[in-house]
């Protein structure tokens, strides 16, 4: 929907998620509704109040699972009801949502998450937890320090690159761009990460080119 | 701080070993932060294996990529970020390194006490490769001291690289390179090295008068010769007193050679230079037999009608004898040849050498005559060799001291050592018999392919600058292990001041940038003192002996 | 065996011919009815209907003003609220091992204006206890099991009672209307011989009690309660026109005109078979409503405790809808106008149907899979509690689809 950005901003203000920047907020933005060891689906507490593509998020329960936002979608909660175009004349999206307040109750924003790491007993492991996250676990955006700690080493990048969720190249690029800010030398971080990717994508120059262009 | 140390290590790491063999050299993938443009062939590297450290020389640099399709679809390198990322990962540089030495376990200090050993294996996979450090170089080539002479620096390093002079003088050695590449400078340095080390005395047949008093650099600047730097240890003999004096030098001795000292073998050696036929050269033996010791003088004094008679008498082709007479008459133009049989040049020479004085024989204007050079060098060397053979034999019988080893430096060496005659000439004998009689050669030549193969193989240490032809390269490298890789190094030497050195005096082949020579600073480093310093030195010596002057 | 389309096609063709013929007659009758509406003589109607009190005209509506009156809607207030409920049920299933039923009431509360908001929820309630499954009269011990029309009525009661709860939770003065789906007249209970105690329980103690609750709450507020019927098949007003317009004597008209077939043509001016919505579709422009009529029904008279039910028709743009209200709403002109304007507004937002009702319905609907899950859940719980579960083979075969 053309207006998602506009609405997304409005919604995110409500939960204090500042875009593209791992803010100090730790309040959960959503809840896990589907879980496997590799993949999580979270539903946002508020419509459009989703983190950005590539953001690192954490789920908190016995052990913390770290995952990367790979896809954000907003759709009808009831699969048998689909939204119909509603604008009349020069309505803005806000006009439509105001005129039909029920719409925001009938839609939900869902976030597909690719699990990349976990933390158990205070130790960080850059691979999958043996046990999947529980349904209804709260999900929140990672803090700056956590992002830096996790991205000190990037062996989990191949998980993101080979994933089939969303558009993996955009996810990887967004993730790295966002994470780079948490490092003292973002440029160097990106170059190192790029080299990592180049090794993984050896033999696929087209994709490597496309991915690197997104990062630069 | 530990992190600092780590950073430093990282910055020196060139890459890691990925493949290779002892015969082909090991292949090294360059680390992504190292560009191929930073590494030159000949660079000296250290490889940290699992059990020992290896030292080697870069013999090849190449570009490689992970993906063969990359050459047809290159990555988007117009984007600087992509360029930076792709370099060293998708595309990367590789080095071929010839492992030369192993150092034992560097965690076990006793193992490295034995010193470097020739590499008999290759480092394991992924061994870390770095540019050799100064300590590495020092450890391998030795620190500059009385037996280690600082000859130059490794490529791209400021470390002093030393030759083991004691090893050097044990055998004959060679300095090669096409003209203008710095052979003379190198030779001069080697002479100084030998001189300083006192391991042997030099006898230099100084064709172009470059070593004795002064020489000239490529840009025609005057540089000091041995006599200027070490006047108390060097004597200059001259064949051309006039020329010596003109250049501001009073020779210690003006050498003369009597006709009686010229032997038929000498004529044999001059065959090519003087354009003599084989028959003509051979006939000199008949003449010697017929005319006695003064055969040449007598022969040259004969009138042409007398020649016919003589020819019949000694049954030699008349025309050949006539040609011989004709050609040898040129020797009359050499003023240093006289009819006296009382010349004591050889005696003087030996006298100086036995006292430990280094002798430079300047040819002066005769330097332009190859015949004069060959003749004189041959005659003198033969006489010295005879004397040394006698001294050496006597010492083993009587138990007195051996004669002081002498290193004879000859230029245009291929004239003395061509394959056809090397077996017969005195130089060939010296080269082959090694230091049996304490006489060795320092062969200086721009055309090593003209030198007998056997002689070449007997040279203990070879230092070669850039060479002209493939044949010369082959000849210098024949019989050397890893010659194929050394060849690529050799062919890429810069045309000045760079040389590939290998052989007994070095634990491994190495490319050196020749030590600077010509500035007063460089003279001082070599131990030269200017007048003021000298006066100071004398004064302090006097004080040491007699106490401070109180008057 | 597949359908013989050749034979069917021929039949469809003759059907269309028949339909076209009837359509022509229908158009003519609607035209007549529309004329009759405009020529309607209110005085005469009042006379005749008074005359026949207790007679067969009891089903004609109470007409207070001329039926051709037309009212334009007010603009909706700046801030307002529409609350709706709708229910669905899972009927007592005789194949189910236990007797029980579930009523699921969906609620939508939509706030418009400066602070738009929406609350959507559903309240399911399971009736399984013995006293839940029957209506009993304590004095006599008589019982009526809740199924069929009684269950439908029970559901209607649940719908209104939840609105009453919603209304009592309201603390602002925002103008609000409360909407239910369908009729406010519980006609379903009439004529099936249900005992009085059943009607008392469902209507007086249930439906009307909740409505009155809302009424009490609505005092001094800008407030309305109504039900909305889409595509109403009523012919109340047409019947009233017939009363004054039929050429046949009243007593005999039954014989000639009491059928909706358009294939016969009893008399030139006959308007039988025409629906109220047909004539109001001609009368009302989009947004406009008709005058208010009163429902004449014994159920209302006997059991609604004095509350009358009134109705009007409204053109919502795509159709004519019928809006029914308790009389205390229609008696208050501002409440009446509020209901009118907000229903028009709701239908505008909802593409011809009130949004709030649609959303309440969506909340209430129990899908096929949910129905199955509900049954399984009941069985699981029973099983855990140790009761054996008997289900008929037929029910089992329905659940286990096999090849």
Tell me which chain C residue has its CA closest to the CA of residue A99.
Answer: C112
Q: Which two tokens stand for residue B309?
A: 């008679």
Residue A78 and residue C362: Cβ atoms within 8 Å?
Answer: yes
Q: Pick from B158, B149, B141: which is nearest to B526 by CA?
A: B149
Instruction: Identify whether C111 is part of a domain.
Output: yes
Instruction: Identify whether C47 is part of a domain.
Output: no
A102, A104, A106, A107: which to substitute to probe chain C, counting the most C Cβ within 10 Å? Answer: A102
- Chain A residues inside the 8 Å CB shell of B74: 205
- pLDDT tens-digit profile of B311-345? 888 888 888 888 888 888 888 888 888 877 777 78
Closest to B69 (Cβ–Cβ): which among A197, A198, A205?
A205
Give CA–CA dist B452/B149, Å, rounded. Answer: 29
Give CA–CA dist B130/B123, Å, rounded. Answer: 13
The more confidently predicted of residues B427 and C335 is: C335
C-alpha distances out from residue C65 to B369, B469, C294, Å: 148, 126, 11
Establish if A86 touches chain B: CB-CB under 8 angstroms: no
Q: CA B470, B476, B479, B483 torsion: positive or negative? A: negative
Domain ranges (residues) in chain A: 4-215
Q: Which two tokens stand for residue A39?
A: 């993949």
CA distance C156 to chain A (A): 24
The more confidently predicted of residues B508 and B550 is: B508
Residue B81 and residue A199: Cβ atoms within 8 Å?
Answer: no
This complex has an ipTM of 0.72
Which residue matches tokens 């459009």? A48
Name which of A170-174, B476-480, C273-277 the model is least confident about. B476-480
- pLDDT tens-digit profile of B363-396? 888 888 888 888 888 888 888 888 888 888 888 7
Residue A194 and residue B76: Cβ atoms within 8 Å?
Answer: no
Instruction: Identify whether C187 is part of a domain.
Output: yes
Count interface pairs A-C at CB distance under 8 A. Answer: 30
CA distance C79 to chain A (A): 11
- What pLDDT does C327 receive? 92
Average pLDDT over residues B442-468: 89
Neighbour subunits, C (≥3 Cβ pairs < 8 A) = A
Instruction: Identify whether C10 is part of a domain.
Output: no
In angstroms and rounded to an integer, the radius of gyration of the C-alpha atoms of chain A is 18
What is the tally of structural domains in chain C? 1
- Chain C residues inside the 8 Å CB shell of A100: 349, 355
Which CATH class for the B164-243+343-518 domain? alpha beta
Looking at residue A143, the DSSP 8-state letter turns out to be P
Tell me which chain A residue has its CA closest to the CA of residue B65.
Answer: A202
- Residues for chain B: how many in total? 551
* Contact assessment for residue C225 and residue C326, using Cβ atoms and an 8 Å cutoff: yes
Count CB atoms within 10 A of the CB of residue A85. Answer: 7
Number of continuous H segments (helices) and E segments (strands) in chain A? 8, 7
- What pLDDT does A35 receive? 92
Q: CA B236, B439, B258, B362 torsion: positive or negative? A: negative
Residue A212 and residue B88: Cβ atoms within 8 Å?
Answer: no
Q: Is the pLDDT of residue B529 over 80?
A: no
- What pLDDT does B301 receive? 85
- Chain B residues inside the 8 Å CB shell of A214: none
Give me the residues of A, 157-186, that contact B with CB < 8 A.
none
Low-confidence ranges of chain C (pLDDT < 50): 54-57, 249-256, 258-260, 399-403
Residue A205 and residue B88: Cβ atoms within 8 Å?
Answer: no
- What pLDDT does C273 receive? 79
Tell me which chain A residue has its CA closest to the CA of residue C347.
Answer: A100
CA distance C316 to chain A (A): 17
Give the domain range for residue C117.
Answer: 79-223+296-305+324-368
- Chain B residues inside the 8 Å CB shell of A191: 81, 84-85
- What pLDDT does B506 receive? 86
| C392 Rama sector, left if φ>0, alpha if ψ -120 to 50, beta otherwise | beta
- What pLDDT does A14 receive? 35
Domain ranges (residues) in chain B: 7-132, 164-243+343-518, 260-333
Residue A97 and residue C111: Cβ atoms within 8 Å?
Answer: no
Give CA–CA dist B95/C141, Å, rounded. Answer: 105
> Which residues touch C129 (CB under 8 Å, ≥6 apart)?
none
Q: Which two tokens stand for residue B65?
A: 């990529």
How does residue A200 score in pLDDT terms, banded at 50, 70 and 90?
A: confident
How does residue B10 score in pLDDT terms, banded at 50, 70 and 90?
A: very low
Q: State the Cα torsion B131-B511-B37-B22 to the nearest 10°.
A: -70
Q: Is the pLDDT of residue A8 over 50?
A: no
* Contact assessment for residue C134 and residue C144, using Cβ atoms and an 8 Å cutoff: yes
- pLDDT tens-digit profile of B131-172? 888 888 888 888 888 888 888 888 777 888 888 888 888 888
Residue B79 and residue A213: Cβ atoms within 8 Å?
Answer: yes
Tell me which chain A residue has its CA closest to the CA of residue C117.
Answer: A101
- What pLDDT does A142 receive? 92
Tell me which chain B residue has its CA closest to the CA of residue A206.
Answer: B75
Q: Pick from C284, C282, C327, C281: which is nearest to C304 by CA?
A: C327
- What pLDDT does C96 receive? 61
* Contact assessment for residue B155 and residue B42, using Cβ atoms and an 8 Å cutoff: yes
Instruction: Identify whether C128 is part of a domain.
Output: yes
Quote the longest CA-to-CA distance of chain C: 72
Give CA–CA dist B210/C137, Å, rounded. Answer: 141
How does residue B403 score in pLDDT terms, banded at 50, 70 and 90?
A: confident
Task: Label residue B247 exposed, middle or buried (CB < 10 Å: 0-12, 13-18, 19+).
Answer: middle
> Which residues touch B219 (CB under 8 Å, ≥6 apart)?
none
Q: Which two tokens stand for residue B481?
A: 């292990």
C78, C81, C111, C118: which to substitute to probe chain A, counting the most A Cβ within 10 Å? Answer: C118
The more confidently predicted of residues B15 and B402 is: B15
> Chain C: which residues have CB within 8 Å of chain A?
108, 110-112, 116-120, 349, 355, 359, 362
Q: Is the pLDDT of residue A16 over 50?
A: no
Average pLDDT over residues B13-38: 87
- pLDDT tens-digit profile of A98-144? 888 888 888 999 999 999 999 988 899 998 988 889 999 999 999 88
- pLDDT tens-digit profile of B78-113? 888 888 888 777 788 899 998 888 887 655 555 555
The kind and range of the H/E element at B46 are strand B44-48
Instruction: Identify whether C146 is part of a domain.
Output: yes
- pLDDT tens-digit profile of B487-513? 888 888 888 888 999 888 888 888 888
Q: Pick from B450, B505, B503: which is nearest to B475 by CA?
A: B450
Q: Tell me yes or no: is domain B7-132 CATH 1.10.3470.
A: no
The β-bridge relationship of strands B214-216 and B406-411 is: unpaired
CA distance A25 to chain C (A): 26
CA distance B78 to chain A (A): 11
Q: Which two tokens stand for residue A127?
A: 């691979």
How does residue B549 score in pLDDT terms, banded at 50, 70 and 90?
A: low
C-alpha distances out from residue C224 to B287, C59, C71, C341, C352, Å: 152, 26, 18, 11, 20
* Domain CATH number, residue C219: 3.30.420
Q: Which two tokens stand for residue C8?
A: 């069917």
Residue B81 and residue A190: Cβ atoms within 8 Å?
Answer: yes
- pLDDT tens-digit profile of B218-276? 677 788 888 888 888 888 988 888 888 888 888 888 888 888 888 888 888 888 888 88
> Which residues touch B119 (CB under 8 Å, ≥6 apart)?
B22, B54, B55, B56, B99, B100, B101, B102
Give CA–CA dist C304/C200, Å, rounded. Answer: 9
- What pLDDT does C293 receive? 93
- What pLDDT does C313 receive? 96
Q: Pick from A43, A45, A181: which is nearest to A113 by CA?
A: A43
Number of continuous H segments (helices) and E segments (strands) in chain B? 22, 23
CA distance A106 to chain C (A): 9
Neighbour subunits, B (≥3 Cβ pairs < 8 A) = A
């Amino acid at each position: 929907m053309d207006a998602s950005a506009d609405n997304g901003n409005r919604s995110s203000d409500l939960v204090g998620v500042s875009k593209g920047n791992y803010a100090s907020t730790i309040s959960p933005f959503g809840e896990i509704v589907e879980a496997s060891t590799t993949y999580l689906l979270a539903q946002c507490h508020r419509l459009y109040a989703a983190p950005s593509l590539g953001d690192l998020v954490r789920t908190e329960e016995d052990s913390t699972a770290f995952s990367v936002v790979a896809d954000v979608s907003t759709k009808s909660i009831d699969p048998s009801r689909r939204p119909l175009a509603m604008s009349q004349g020069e309505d803005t999206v806000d006009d439509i949502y105001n005129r039909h307040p029920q719409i925001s109750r009938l839609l939900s924003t869902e976030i597909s998450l690719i699990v990349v790491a976990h933390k158990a007993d205070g130790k960080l492991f850059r691979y999958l937890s043996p046990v999947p996250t529980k349904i209804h676990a709260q999900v929140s955006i990672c803090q700056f320090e956590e992002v830096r700690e996790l991205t000190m080493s990037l062996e989990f990048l191949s998980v993101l690159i080979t994933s089939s969720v969303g558009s993996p190249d955009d996810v990887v690029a967004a993730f790295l761009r966002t994470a780079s800010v948490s490092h003292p030398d973002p440029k160097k971080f990106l170059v190192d990460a790029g080299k990592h990717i180049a090794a993984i994508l050896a033999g696929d120059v087209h994709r490597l080119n496309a991915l690197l262009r997104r990062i630069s | 701080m530990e992190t600092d140390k780590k950073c430093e290590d990282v910055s020196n790491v060139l890459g890691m070993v990925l493949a290779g063999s002892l015969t082909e050299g090991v292949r090294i993938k360059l680390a992504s932060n190292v560009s191929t443009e930073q590494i030159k062939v000949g660079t000296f590297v250290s490889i940290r294996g699992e059990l020992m450290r290896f030292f080697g020389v870069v013999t090849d640099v190449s570009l490689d990529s992970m993906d063969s399709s990359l050459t047809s679809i290159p990555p988007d390198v117009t984007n600087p970020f992509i360029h930076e990322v792709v370099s060293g990962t998708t595309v990367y540089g590789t080095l071929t390194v010839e492992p030369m030495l192993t150092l034992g376990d560097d965690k076990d200090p006793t193992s490295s006490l034995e010193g470097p050993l020739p590499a008999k294996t290759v480092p394991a996979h992924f061994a870390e490769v770095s540019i050799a450090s100064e300590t590495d170089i020092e450890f391998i080539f030795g620190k500059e001291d009385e037996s280690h002479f600082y000859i130059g620096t490794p490529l791209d390093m400021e470390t002093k690289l030393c030759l083991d002079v004691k090893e050097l003088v044990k055998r004959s050695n060679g300095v090669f390179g096409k003209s203008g590449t710095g052979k003379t400078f190198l030779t001069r340095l080697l002479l100084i090295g030998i001189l300083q080390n006192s391991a042997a005395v030099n006898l230099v047949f100084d064709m172009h008068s470059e070593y004795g008093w002064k020489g000239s650099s490529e840009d025609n600047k005057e540089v000091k010769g041995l006599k200027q730097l070490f006047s108390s240890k060097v004597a200059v003999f001259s064949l051309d007193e006039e020329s010596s004096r003109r250049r501001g030098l009073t020779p210690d001795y003006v050498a003369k050679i009597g006709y009686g000292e010229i032997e038929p073998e000498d004529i044999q050696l001059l065959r090519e230079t003087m354009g003599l036929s084989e028959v003509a050269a051979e006939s000199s033996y008949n003449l010697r037999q017929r005319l006695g010791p003064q055969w040449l003088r007598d022969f040259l004094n004969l009138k042409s009608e007398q020649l016919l008679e003589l020819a019949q008498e000694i049954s030699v082709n008349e025309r050949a004898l006539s040609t011989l007479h004709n050609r040898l008459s040129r020797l009359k133009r050499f003023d240093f040849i006289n009819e006296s049989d009382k010349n004591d040049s050889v005696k003087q020479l030996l006298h100086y050498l036995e006292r430990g004085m280094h002798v430079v024989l300047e040819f002066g204007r005769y330097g332009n005559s190859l015949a004069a050079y060959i003749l004189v060098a041959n005659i003198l060397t033969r006489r010295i060799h005879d004397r040394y053979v006698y001294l050496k034999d006597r010492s083993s019988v009587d138990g007195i001291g051996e004669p002081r080893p002498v290193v004879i430096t000859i230029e245009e060496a291929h004239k003395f050592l061509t394959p056809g005659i090397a077996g017969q000439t005195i130089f060939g004998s010296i080269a082959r018999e090694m230091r049996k009689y304490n006489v060795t050669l320092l062969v200086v030549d721009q055309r090593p392919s003209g030198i007998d193969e056997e002689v070449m193989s007997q040279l203990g240490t070879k230092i070669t600058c850039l060479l002209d032809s493939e044949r010369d390269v082959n000849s210098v490298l024949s019989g050397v292990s890893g010659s194929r890789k050394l060849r690529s190094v050799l062919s890429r030497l810069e045309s000045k001041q760079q040389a590939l050195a290998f052989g007994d005096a070095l634990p491994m082949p190495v490319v050196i940038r020749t030590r600077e020579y010509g500035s007063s600073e460089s003279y001082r480093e070599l131990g030269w003192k200017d007048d003021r310093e000298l006066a100071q030195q004398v004064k302090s010596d006097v004080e040491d002996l007699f106490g401070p002057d109180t008057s | 065996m597949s359908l013989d389309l050749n034979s069917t096609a021929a039949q469809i063709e003759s059907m269309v011919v028949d339909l076209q013929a009837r359509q022509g007659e229908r158009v003519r009758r609607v035209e007549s009815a529309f004329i009759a509406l405009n020529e309607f003589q209110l005085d005469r109607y009042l006379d005749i209907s008074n005359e026949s009190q207790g007679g067969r005209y009891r089903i004609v509506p109470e007409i207070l003003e001329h039926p051709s009156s037309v009212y334009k809607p007010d603009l909706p207030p700046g801030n307002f609220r529409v609350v709706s409920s709708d229910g669905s049920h899972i009927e007592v299933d005789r194949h189910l091992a236990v007797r029980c039923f579930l009523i699921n009431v969906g609620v939508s509360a939509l706030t418009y204006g400066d602070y738009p908001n929406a609350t959507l929820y559903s309240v399911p309630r399971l009736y399984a206890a013995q006293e839940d499954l029957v209506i009993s009269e304590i004095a006599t011990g008589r019982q009526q099991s809740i199924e069929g029309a009684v269950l439908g009525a029970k559901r209607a009661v649940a719908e209104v009672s939840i609105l009453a709860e919603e209304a009592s939770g309201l603390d602002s003065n925002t103008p609000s209307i409360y909407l239910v789906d369908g009729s406010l007249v519980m006609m379903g209970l009439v004529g099936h011989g249900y005992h009085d105690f059943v009607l008392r329980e469902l209507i007086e103690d249930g439906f009307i009690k909740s409505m009155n609750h809302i009424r009490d709450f609505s005092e001094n507020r800008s407030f309305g309660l109504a039900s909305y019927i889409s595509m109403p098949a009523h012919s109340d007003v047409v019947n009233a026109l017939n009363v004054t317009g039929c050429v046949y004597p009243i007593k005999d008209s039954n014989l000639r005109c009491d059928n909706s077939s358009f294939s016969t043509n009893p008399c030139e001016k006959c308007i039988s078979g025409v629906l109220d919505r047909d004539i109001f579709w001609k009368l009302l422009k989009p947004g406009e409503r008709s005058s208010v009529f009163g429902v004449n029904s014994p159920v209302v008279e006997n059991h609604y405790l004095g509350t009358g039910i009134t109705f009007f028709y409204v053109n919502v743009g795509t159709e004519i809808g019928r809006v029914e209200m308790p009389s205390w709403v229609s008696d208050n002109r501002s409440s009446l106008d509020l209901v009118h304007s907000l229903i028009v507004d709701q239908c505008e937002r909802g593409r011809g149907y009130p949004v709030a009702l649609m959303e309440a319905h969506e909340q209430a609907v129990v899908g096929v899979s949910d129905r199955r899950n509900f049954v399984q859940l009941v069985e699981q719980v029973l099983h855990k509690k140790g009761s054996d579960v008997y289900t008929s083979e037929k029910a089992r075969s329905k659940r286990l689809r096999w090849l």
